Structure 1
Amino acid sequence: MSRSRRLVLAGSALGVACLAAVGAAAQPQRQAPRTLAIGAQTPPSAMDPHYHNTTNNNMVLRGQIFEALFDLDTRAQRQPRLAESLRPLDDLTWEVKIRQGVRFHDGTPFEADDIAFTFARVPTVPNSPALFTPAVRTIAAVEVVDPATVRLRLREPNPLLPWDLTGPVILSRRVHGPDWPATADFNSGRLAIGTGPYRFVAFAHNERVELARNPTYWGPAEPWERVVYRYIPQAGSRVAALLTGEVDLIDYVPVQDIPRLERDRRFALFSVDSVTFVYLFPDSMRDTSPHVFDKQGRPLARNPLADRRVREALSLAINRQAIAERLYQGQARAADQFAAPAAEHRIPDLPPLPYDPARARALLAEAGWPDGFRMTIHGPNGFFPLDDNLLQAIAQAFTRIGIETQVQALPPANLFTRATNREFSLFMTYFSSYLTINPLRHVVMTQNRELGFGPFNRQRYSNPAVDEPARQALTTMDEERRRALTQQAARALLEDKGVLPVIFLRNTWAGWRDRVVYDPSPINHTAAIHARPAE
């Protein structure tokens, strides 16, 4: 008899100097055999895999300590993990075949009921900066047919379900239940128990994560007996750690150091065009905003960012091509829209967003700000390459059209907490996705926690011209119709300047040539599962 589980879902310069200093030195002592030491830029905010849907958390937790039903490989191909197959029975019913013989790290068997437990927990994690709710929002019930078969009953058709099931990792109702586990219990390691190829060893916030190979893993054994992540936010210090042999592999190689490392035969570089794009998010929905002032520094009685003409002026002020060529030295591309170049269903054949400071000044005057105003913009420091430099370049561009702009760069965890609390007038961040509909539903659809819309919509942007076609696209099984609806929503967003896309990033890792070979990830994941020992 089937059982049902109902879900209630609610300094580069330092790096160059070190290169010169170490260039003639003898090769440093190699790491212990089968140990992979990674110098990573951005630490995870928690070991709770459902706490924060962000790249720096997911790359350590998903696919390594914990596993989802499916995962995406570095070619964007869906691979079976805890599920072996997925097929639709009708528009509202999908059948999942469960992998047998899988055990959690403590020996507890993985069972079909764990899926219901997990999907019910996902929307409930307290104090989360960004939940995984969009991935489970359409699942009304999980029906266990037999130990190897689960049926997912949906509230509405969901053509993205195969992608959604690559998101939330599976927890055990026996290990992590019956009540929802606290995030602190994952951070301590007590409940950092998954089914993945690596086991949790240690977590020191902002410093390091240590993993050990899982000897009872259901799949092929990983080649690394031990993995150590060292978090080094300063670009020059990260390069120095590579050069001195303290780490085998680093991510976010500073763009200025790429040519020199390419010439040094001791090192190999691994690069890929990413599905990551950087954007600015203006506070356009409030009558007043906390970080806009008149030229004397007094708060403004009305919010200029609420005027579309002002937002367009900001966009026109940014010379994206110069940023890509000069600041990023070819390791970025000028953005044309709110979707990565490789994203499915993006708007085709658009030119880069225009640069026209004269038109920008005219728009400011037309909007009632002929003399401009003052503004403070916020962004991360140590979240992606040259993020603080990019923020400064954007501030200078705004200042040139009459908006005197100051910058405050913050550690990522602080930035996103404050952004979630709506403390900013304009902030910078990035998003990664192979789908155009994903940034629309996560970032700009009107926020609705119950339906899972807008978990990253930290400025509470709301536009019916975006919402309605995006909502229809999310329930349209016909692909051509879904493509048209997605592009309609994307065009409405582009026209309204609800967000301001800036650049598309290219990702580069560097490692010791005789130690490691890395399969670069378009979604920025720095993970031991993508690394193999050099032959």
Structure 2
Amino acid sequence: MFPFVLAAVVLAALAAPAAAQRNLVIAAQTPPSALDPHFHNTTNNSMVLRQIFEPLFELDTKAQRQPRLAESLRMIDPLTWEVKLRAGVRFHDGTPFEADDVAYTFARVPTVPNSPALFTPAVRTISAIEIKDPRTIILRTREPNPLLPIDLTGPPILSRRVHGENPATSDFTSGRLAIGTGPYRYASYIHNERLEVTRNPDYWGPAEPWDRVTFRYIPQGGSRMAALLSGEVDLIDYVPLQDVPRLERDPRFALFGVDSVTFVYLAPDAMRETTPFAFDRQGKPLPRNPLADRRVREAMSLAIPRQNIAERLYHGQARAADQFAAPVAEHRLPNLPPLPHDPARARALLAEAGYPQGFRLTIHGPNGFFPGDDSLLQALAQSFTRAGIETAVETLPPATLFTRATNREFSLFMTYFSSYLTINPMRQVAMTRNPELGHGPFNRQRYSNPAMDVPLAEAMSTMDPERREILTQQAAQALLDDKGLLPIIFLRNVWAGKRDKLTYEPSPVNHTSALYARPVP
């Protein structure tokens, strides 16, 4: 009888259905500009690529530093840090992660060609990397760097053996070099359309619950909503503002929201003698740049009805910005009053600056980069026009916008920045640009203000936290007083998903990632 019993067992096993795969489909607003993890230090790249590649450390959704490819960081003295690396990690092709890969990665970071914004600030102070043993490296810095623990959450680590000398960004985007140590592996990518990743079965950490994750890139909010309502996707980001109440009432869906560390701002061309998109009332180019006059920049700030924008345009899903730092940012300026809205004073300042009849201006910004970005641009243009600056709007895809902004093609453009620190956006966006030192990689208008730079530079090398706070706030006040950048609103981040399928841990830095999605038990 035994052979017949065995045969029956085999047949039953063959007939049993395979375990169902857990797949996740996410509709995201903004695609990555490339799959090279060092090409563009921006949210829409990082949130996707951190699933495939990993840094030494990671900031979680509570702004706590968590170990990834490194297990610990210890300061030996103000110029020397010891990093203990994780053992047993392999890249997706089986190549082991080694200490030398850290040195290789940090050397590559400042050299990536055609980057809109490099990770150079994260490695700017490191002067030498010494391998003490296979799991221990010593980082030596040219000056004290209190931000190094945060900096090491930046650049994802590549492999010297896998990625080789001078790897091309195009080879990452094609998938050939999209090989990391992360919990998901590259499967396929169609630029601006979709990215597919699969679970890494050999991941060093806990296994992810999703077998396959598909990101569909749908820039239109209404189209993302339609995909969710029809069941085509399981999760969407940047829920359209007007649809939040509707989804709150629909039992099929759950909303996942959090106050973000993201602030939207305007970057005026304040440093050049002439600027390309400023004209007189007859449409002729102005002989001098009006935005170089602080009074004009202050007039523009006074023209912005920030509270009305937050309450009416954003339906309460934003807050009026009072400075160039998020509400929870460390060392932000305390107890500031709201930035004033005073169109009459704005017109008086324009007349004082030599523009009693105002002038014409074009403002540029993204379409499909954050909720309501095109509507916000229109609202800003109307506000400036009422104050005497006849303003037109031109919206662009994010990748095009940032490429042109880096080339200094705009007079005024709108974007956003996310950070848990006050010092970080200033050193990245407002500090006088210096590629060798890694200062100002996002300073696309080449703003320069010694009253801000001097205390900021000292703060960046001051280990005493109390002294660093004083210096950071001194720099922040100088930037605010000069109106070198014009803060508008602080965003609130909202995702929506199928209630019976998943939960989502909302990210204050706007990361839409499978790493934050978990199946409903």
Instruction: Give the TM interval when normalised to the shorter protein.
Output: over 0.9
- Which residue number in structure 1 is paired with residue 111 of structure 2? 124
Aligned pair 1:345/2:331, yes or no?
A: yes
Q: 2:185 aligns with which of 199, 210, 213?
A: 199
- Which residue number in structure 1 is paired with residue 437 of structure 2? 451
Structure 2 alignment gaps of length 5 or more? 1-19
Amino acid at match of 1:244: S
Give the 5 Å matches for 1:22-171: 33-62=21-50, 64-171=51-158
Aligned pair 1:336/2:316, yes or no?
A: no
- Which residue number in structure 1 is paired with residue 475 of structure 2? 489
Q: CA deviation at 1:281?
A: 0.4
- Which residue number in structure 2 is paired with residue 479 of structure 1? 465
Q: 1:503 aligns with which of 484, 489, 513?
A: 489
Residues 133-169 of structure 1: per-residue CA shift (max 9 Å, x gap):
0000000011000001000010100000000000000
Residues 11-66 of structure 1: per-residue CA shift (max 9 Å, x gap):
xxxxxxxxxxxxxxxxxxxxx7410100000000000000000000000002x100
Q: 2:285 aligns with which of 299, 306, 311?
A: 299
Aligned pair 1:405/2:391, yes or no?
A: yes
The whole-number CA distance in structure 1 between the counterparts of 2:395 and 2:372 is 11
Aligned pair 1:236/2:222, yes or no?
A: yes
The whole-number CA distance in structure 1 between the counterparts of 2:498 and 2:109 is 39
Superposition TM-score, scaled by structure 1 size: 0.93
SS in 2 for 1:300: coil
Q: 1:286 aligns with which of 256, 261, 272?
A: 272
Amino acid at match of 1:77: Q
- Which residue number in structure 1 is paired with residue 252 of structure 2? 266
Residues 152-203 of structure 1: per-residue CA shift (max 9 Å, x gap):
01010000000000000000000011x1200000011110000000000111
- Which residue number in structure 1 is paired with residue 408 of structure 2? 422
The whole-number CA distance in structure 1 between the counterparts of 2:218 and 2:449 is 40
SS in 1 for 2:310: helix
The whole-number CA distance in structure 2 between the counterparts of 1:527 and 1:352 is 34
Identity of matched residues, %? 78
- Which residue number in structure 1 is paired with residue 359 of structure 2? 373
Amino acid at match of 2:140: R
Q: CA deviation at 1:352?
A: 1.7
The whole-number CA distance in structure 2 between the counterparts of 1:129 and 1:135 is 16
The whole-number CA distance in structure 1 between the counterparts of 2:279 and 2:174 is 44
Residues 197-222 of structure 1: per-residue CA shift (max 9 Å, x gap):
00001111100110000000000000
Say which one has the larger Rg: 2
Aligned pair 1:245/2:231, yes or no?
A: yes
Amino acid at match of 2:342: D
The whole-number CA distance in structure 2 between the counterparts of 1:184 and 1:33 is 31
Residues 223-274 of structure 1: per-residue CA shift (max 9 Å, x gap):
0000000000000000000011110000000110000100000000000000
The whole-number CA distance in structure 2 between the counterparts of 1:180 and 1:244 is 45
Residues 447-505 of structure 1: per-residue CA shift (max 9 Å, x gap):
00000000000000000001011100000000000000000000000000000000000
- Which residue number in structure 2 is paired with residue 7 of structure 1? none
SS in 2 for 1:438: helix
The whole-number CA distance in structure 2 between the counterparts of 1:156 and 1:53 is 24
The whole-number CA distance in structure 2 between the counterparts of 1:475 and 1:69 is 22
The whole-number CA distance in structure 1 between the counterparts of 2:264 and 2:401 is 15
Amino acid at match of 1:446: T
Residues 109-155 of structure 1: per-residue CA shift (max 9 Å, x gap):
00000000000000000000000000000000110000010000101
Q: Superposition RMSD on alpha carbons, in Å? A: 0.5
Residues 276-323 of structure 1: per-residue CA shift (max 9 Å, x gap):
000000000000000000000000000000000000000000000000
Amino acid at match of 2:63: A
SS in 2 for 1:38: strand
Aligned pair 1:220/2:226, yes or no?
A: no
Residues 376-421 of structure 1: per-residue CA shift (max 9 Å, x gap):
0000000000000000000000000111000001000000000000
- Which residue number in structure 1 is paired with residue 424 of structure 2? 438
Amino acid at match of 1:139: I
Q: CA deviation at 1:424?
A: 0.2
Amino acid at match of 1:35: N
SS in 2 for 1:119: helix
SS in 1 for 2:286: coil
- Which residue number in structure 1 is paired with residue 10 of structure 2? none
The whole-number CA distance in structure 2 between the counterparts of 1:332 and 1:396 is 19
- Which residue number in structure 2 is paired with residue 175 of structure 1? 162
- Which residue number in structure 1 is paired with residue 5 of structure 2? none
SS in 1 for 2:205: coil
- Which residue number in structure 2 is paired with residue 461 of structure 1? 447
The whole-number CA distance in structure 2 between the counterparts of 1:37 and 1:404 is 44
The whole-number CA distance in structure 2 between the counterparts of 1:492 and 1:209 is 43
SS in 2 for 1:135: helix
